[in-house]
Amino acid sequence: MRTLYLALKYLAVTLWSAFVIFPFLWMLSTSFKTQNAVTGGATWLPWLQFEPSLAGWRALFGGAGGVNIVKPYLNSVVVTGTASAIALVLGTLAAYGLSRFSFRAGPIRNGDITFFFISQRIMPPIVLAIPFFLMLRWLGLLDSLPGLILVYVAALMPIAVWVMVDFFNTIPRALDEMAWMDGCTPVTTFIRVILPNVLPGLVVAGMFCLIFGWNDFFFAFTLTFTKTQLLPVSIVALNSSVTPWWSLSAAAIVSVAPLAVLAFVVERFLASGGLKGAVR
Amino acid sequence: MYRQKYIFLLPGLLVLIAVILFPLIFTIRVSFSSWDVYNPGLNDAGGAMYARMWEDARYWQALWRLSLLSVATVLIQYLLGFALALLVWRDIAARRFFRVLFLVPMMTTPVVMSVIWRTIFHESLGPLNPILEGLGIGAQPWLSHPGFAFVAVIIVEVWQWTPFMFLLLLAGLLSLPSEPFLAAKIDGAGPIRTFLSVTFPMMGAISVGAILIRAIEASKIMETVYVLTSGGPGTSTETVSYYIYIRGMRDFQIGYSAALSLTYLIIMAVALTLIAKALMRLMVRGAGA
């Protein structure tokens, strides 16, 4: 009975692992193929089933029959990095304000303002796509990096507020009050006393901003054309009736690899209980 | 001294109001105009766009399809995510390895992985059909048959987002106190009994939170569909977001798509609120009435 239970348990874990790994193995294998190897039907093993080639990888850097993804890659790094940093700063400040002071404007209280921030996640991107398009055109920021950064700051800030409000609420107010009695202003209290205590929260919030920023496709797709391409847009542009599967797979690997590493970071936080705040 | 409190709140709040609230209010105005390629600009069309929407069967079908798709994917993700979280919670070798592995898909770019999935589902050159043939199930028309295309979208959504459900539920399991489990053990309760009367009740609030977060994200599904099937075959996998995208960004019917998207936003907000209330009553003890 006990052995059967264990066997079933490991069987289930193995099956799901296979499902998770399946697309990754497939794209790794495909990235070393040539056109002949792809049109010959599905194969997995290099040397045994097909002659491996680096053509797909060379195509990423402007080789024959591919796209140059170096520039879109850098664009993505700049936009995601800048927007995440700004969203994290603004979101953390707002979350601290909402957690420590009371604001009121007519019938609006702190809870309503917090809800206003967080509820932005409910908004389907398509609802904002057209006003964003018109707004950026009016500002002359369509198809540009600053335009994208502006949009992503607004899209990512709610995540930062959502995570940070919970973290600030777990820090006792006595800490702030002690700092005030020592002559700190609210701003210096925040920087010197409170921030060092919420570092795990900043890491979690920053990580979520990076994940959602790097992985977004929709705004980059609707608000840029040819001058400023982000990585997901340039990869999806390869997707057509005559898709070059080899360079597509190679591009997918380099685009997905940097964030996959974050899985290790997230797991560390899980093990140490650092995600408790985010759950509640 | 308290004057300084505005330094914290205002920068973020003003950015959000300028970038999101104003455009949204502008959209309301646009939805009462017939702005399109032929008549660019704001005019006064009254409720003409909403009247047209009322008659637009394709829109309501897309809405119904989205509801079906969201409920199906979130339910599967919850059941699988909970099962996986329980499996690697404790008493298993190499549990940290499995936890990392199970988290990886949520870190990957959905559209990029969808392009890869499209090659996997390819009916003659993809790897999936040979495997199914090997298992004796036979090749399937994955992306050219409406029913299978719908299942393909569900498979990709489940692969991509079950990890998120898994993450939230595992974090919940790891934060549970150990005393109730000790008590159950002393009482001689087996694993199933312990799960039903100890683990599951304590996971109620966390479950509701995780399901809601995923339901919110699922209500926006569009990218997977765009890459995998382009809404096809025909319009059989078209979701609301994708249909509005076609009307607004491709046909440039700005006024009409504004009316469609506002209605979509209101319906989703109301539906999600009702689902949240129902789930709270159903799954969280002592939160009734």
Q: Which chain A residues touch B30 with a CB distance below 8 Å? A: 130-131
pLDDT higher than 60, residue A279: no
CATH number of domain containing B231: 1.10.3720.10
pLDDT higher than 60, residue A64: no
What are the start and end residues of each CATH 1.10.3720.10 domain in chain A?
A: 70-237
> Does B115 sit within 8 Å of A236, measured CB to CB?
yes
Q: Report the complex ipTM.
A: 0.90
- Chain position carrying tokens 């093990």: A271
Best CA proximity match to A280, nearest among B203, B209, B273, B74 = B209
Quote the domain boundaries for residue B244: 43-283
Q: Is B207 inside any structural domain?
A: yes
CA–CA min distance A120, chain B (Å): 8
pLDDT higher than 70, residue A186: yes
CA–CA min distance B207, chain A (Å): 10
Q: Is B253 inside any structural domain?
A: yes
Instruction: Give the pLDDT of residue A63.
Output: 59
Q: Considering only residues 197 to 236 of chain A, which have any Cβ-Cβ distance to chain B shorter than 8 Å?
A: 211, 214-215, 217-218, 222, 231-232, 235-236
Tens-place pLDDT, residues B198-250: 888 888 888 998 999 899 999 999 989 999 988 878 888 999 999 999 998 88
How far is A212 from B107, CA to CA, in rounded Å? 9
Q: What's the mean pLDDT in A17-36?
A: 91
Domain count, chain B: 1
Instruction: Give the pLDDT of residue A184.
Output: 83
Instruction: Give the pLDDT of residue B289.
Output: 34
How far is B175 from A276, CA to CA, in rounded Å? 7
pLDDT higher than 60, residue A148: yes
Contact A77, A258 (CB under 8 A): no
Q: Is B32 inside any structural domain?
A: no
pLDDT confidence tier of residue A268, bands split at 50, 70 and 90: confident
B268 touching chain A per CB within 8 A:
yes
SS3 track for B190-239: CHHHHHHHHHHHHCHHHHHHHHHHHHHHHCCCCHHHHHHCCCCCCCCCCC
pLDDT confidence tier of residue A181, bands split at 50, 70 and 90: confident
Q: Is B55 inside any structural domain?
A: yes
Instruction: Give the pLDDT of residue B73.
Output: 96
Q: Considering only residues 9 to 38 of chain A, which have any Cβ-Cβ distance to chain B shorter than 8 Å?
A: 9-10, 12-13, 16-17, 19-24, 26-27, 30, 38
Amino acid at B193: R
Q: Is B77 inside any structural domain?
A: yes
pLDDT confidence tier of residue B188, bands split at 50, 70 and 90: confident
CATH architecture of A70-237: Orthogonal Bundle (1.10)
CA–CA min distance B177, chain A (Å): 12
Q: Is B289 inside any structural domain?
A: no
Tens-place pLDDT, residues A211-249: 999 999 999 998 988 888 899 998 888 876 667 888 889
Q: Is B11 inside any structural domain?
A: no
Instruction: Give the pLDDT of residue A65.
Output: 55
Half-sphere exposure of B174 (CA within 13 A, CB side): 26
Tens-place pLDDT, residues A31-54: 898 887 787 777 888 888 888 888
pTM of the model: 0.91
